[in-house]
Amino acid sequence: MNGAQILIDGLRREGVDTIFGYPGGVVIPIFDILYSVKDIRFLLTRHEQGATHAADGYARSTGKVGVCLVTSGPGATNTITGIATAKMDSSPIVVISGQVATGNIGTDAFQETDMFGLTRSICKHNYLIKDVKDLPRIIKEAFYIARTGRPGPVSIDVPVDVSNGKLKNYTYPEAVELPGYKPVMKGNAAQIKKLAEAIAHAQKPLLYTGGGVVSSNASEEILQLIDKTHIPIVVTLMGLGTVPYDHPCFLGMPGMHGRVAANKALVECDLLIGIGVRFDDRITGPRHTFAINTIVAHIDVDPSEIGKNIRTTIPIVGDAKFILRALIEKVKSRAKSSWNERTEFWKEKFPLTYKESGNGSVNPQYVIERLNQFADPNAIVVTDVGQNQMWAAQYCQYRYPRKFLSSGGLGTMGFGLPAAMGAALGNSKTQVICIAGDGGIQMNIQELATCSINRIPVKILVLNNSYLGMVRQWQDLFWDKKYSRVCLRQTPDCPPECRGSRDDCPGGYVPDLVKVAEANGMRGFRATCKAEVDQVLKKGLAEKGPVLMEFFINREENVYPMVSAGKPLTEIMMGD
């Protein structure tokens, strides 16, 4: 067998059923084998960045390892953003890039780049294969590393002579041998006991969970723990859907654009139990202001996260599912208490609100509210990045994990559409909805064609305010409304120092996204006023294939609540 055949065989043995990618010179030997492969589906995207985000969306929505196959040089470098996105959100993908022949490495050959050096800091681990005999071991290791412990992306660079190289007596290894990599699964029993005791003594305990609970598939255990102890819970962007949006103990997403109840609970609790989270700055605000009088417990599979940002009293390293099961055994039942009443009161007193524009124009929050009425309750929502992402996080009605996918750590614009494509291929019986802004949708707009041609039925909602909304919001609130280069329709005819849109703004919505959708082989619908929203949603969601629904929303709507950067969670801005 040659390297290309071994590669495909290895992928098959790792349970791969879909590969996302784009060919090129040095990967033709691999594509030659793929030509006759029937049991692994290959999705040809229109940009390697799209392929990487698609593999990522596939991974996040299925829990399996996403696979991306690209060529050397520019093909490989086009995956950098996608790999970094997956790294920041601990998403398991394997990115296989072609490379020039081993003898030509280092000579600045055609389409040569040092992918091994480039990806070092943005992946969990990487490989440059120098000999075809190492290929089987490396494939097995790559998948093992990607999916175990704290999941993450693995990059494999495959020179063309390795793909063409022949291996006699090929066997796929039975086991991995990684003396330096032994993820801890079971937590320390004494620490778990300590946590159970702390829970028994706490007056105001609070659960704070995130992406790690989703990776660990521990949503059920969280629900069981809450059932037994009635501890209220806040869930980060990466964990939304761990508990249903309407669960009585769910206080909402915490942090910069989180719910007031969630942030108040973070400030007032006396025991903070972080599970599968990393105490990111979007949640904590300045570190010296966070959890000052609280006992902090931190359960995480990655020991380097514990104590990284916040001093921790009860650290427990291990897999969330294992640890939660042990904790549920040890912990004593707790009835609802005055703390529950207090947190529920906050929920009622501080609901999400927005100012309804009286003139019939469209509030973006309204679009999401109406989407909730028409979308499938089992739908997967994939967001892009920015204000659209925050409104989706606040208003969508998530009920299960792996139903809300978002680029949280890196905040990559252009993630939404290709990731939704990947999620759709991984979940063919599930409605997949992409929520994006007009800025983000343009960043990987070429994937509209991929959706149409391959009949991937993604339902795309574009909240169009013709602005780079989130940046404009910051300029609005903190930079004296100096809207520097955020207006996506600013023309040379505009006044030189614009501080906001007016009725007589020159220029129009460019591009015409409905026409772009049609040019790419799918239908496009547009709502320009509140009255049109429902029918656009109904028509769009009823389409069998992919569809783009555009909503002209209020140009200068801001996301609230907001805790601005550098401010503690006690200083919440509620509205304009």
Where do contacts with another protein occur on this chain (CB under 8 A)? 116-117, 120-121, 124-125, 128, 130, 145, 178-181, 302-304, 307-308
Pick 149 or 386: Cβ nearer another protein: 149
- Report the distance separating Cα 161 and Cα 138, nearest Å: 16
Question: Min. distance of Cβ 115 from another protein in angstroms?
Answer: 12
Cβ density class 338-350: b for 16+ within 10 Å, e for less: ebbeebbebbeeb
Considering the complex, state which of residue 124 and residue 472 has its C-beta at the smaller distance from another protein: 124
240/234 Cα distance (integer angstroms): 9
Nearer to another protein, 146 or 569 (CB): 146
Of the pair 301, 424, the CB lying nearest another protein is at 301
Reading the block at residue 391, the tokens are 């409104």
* Residue number, 20 or 127, with CB nearest to another protein: 127
Q: How far is the CB of 126 from another protein (least distance, A)?
A: 9
The minimum distance between CB 335 and another protein, in angstroms, equals 39
Residue 99 C-beta: closest distance to another protein, Å: 13
Helix orientation angle between 364-374 and 530-542, rounded to the nearest 10 degrees? 40
> Any alpha helices (H) in 78-218, and if so which ranges?
80-88, 115-119, 135-147, 160-164, 189-201, 211-215
CA 68: distance to chain centroid?
A: 17
How would you label 462-476 residue by residue, b for 16+ Cβ within 10 Å and e otherwise? bbbbbbbbbbbbebb
Closer Cβ to another protein, 75 or 315, answer by number:
315
Residue 304 Cβ, how far from another protein at the closest point, in Å?
A: 4
In the chain, what is the greatest distance between 2 CA atoms, to the nearest angstrom?
75
What is the strand order of the sheet 205-209 is part of? 250-252, 233-235, 205-209, 271-275, 295-300, 314-317
Tell me, what amino acid is at 564? Answer: S
CB 175, min distance to another protein, A:
16
Spatial distance between the Cα atoms of 413 and 406, rounded to a whole number of angstroms: 10
**Which of residues 176 and 453 has its CB atom nearest to another protein in the complex?**
176
Both tokens of residue 295?
A: 């006992």
Quote the least distance from Cβ 277 to another protein, whole Å: 17
For the bound state, the minimum distance from the C-beta of residue 302 to another protein, rounded and expressed in Å, comes to 7
Closer CB to another protein, 188 or 454, in the complex: 188
